Amino acid sequence: MIDRGIIVVSRCMLAAISFLLCIGATPTASSGEQNNSEHSRPSNRRVVLDPKLYWYYAAMGKLEHLKTSEGQVEGSYSERGVRTEFTIKTSDLKNPVARTKGYKLAVEKIIAYMAPGAVPDNEANRKYMAELTKNLEAITGMHFTGHDDWKKWFDANHEKLQWSEAQNTLIVQE
């Protein structure tokens, strides 16, 4: 007879592994060590970050404590109260396809956040949304006045967007 508790635990572990694979993170070790920085929290995870997610988190203003050495970038990002430390090869960050995908994910999310009522109206969120709007304009090279205009532009162009190293922005590839 099979113990139901084992099945539940196995399903939970499978779901956790599937989540990590879907977001492109590869667990390397669990780290409960406290960083000596006075503003840091203990890290709950350490991953080798997928380049697409690096560019996504960069656009979302989430990357912290970045340092480059010996051909790789180390840093961290926080999401929903969980700090994740990561490494990524600098050569992986030169992939324009990964940069395009990461930025497109961020652009879509930022535009969704702009929708009326999408985020609570408080000072911290207004400040964060102002930062995200600047990032959105820098990534796209476009300037619109609100959610509806941004959404209309993105819906019409998202399939044709690609990163241009020469223009340092996403461009609409005809």
* Bridge partner list, 93: none
Alpha helices in 24-159 (DSSP H): 51-59, 96-114, 123-140, 147-157
* Mean pLDDT, the chain, whole residue set: 82
Residues 18-55: tens digit of each pLDDT: 444 344 444 443 334 344 444 445 556 899 999 999 99
Domains of the chain, by residue range, sit at 24-93, 96-172
Q: Residue 146, Cβ neighbours under 10 Å: how many? A: 12
Q: What is the value of pTM for the model shown?
A: 0.74
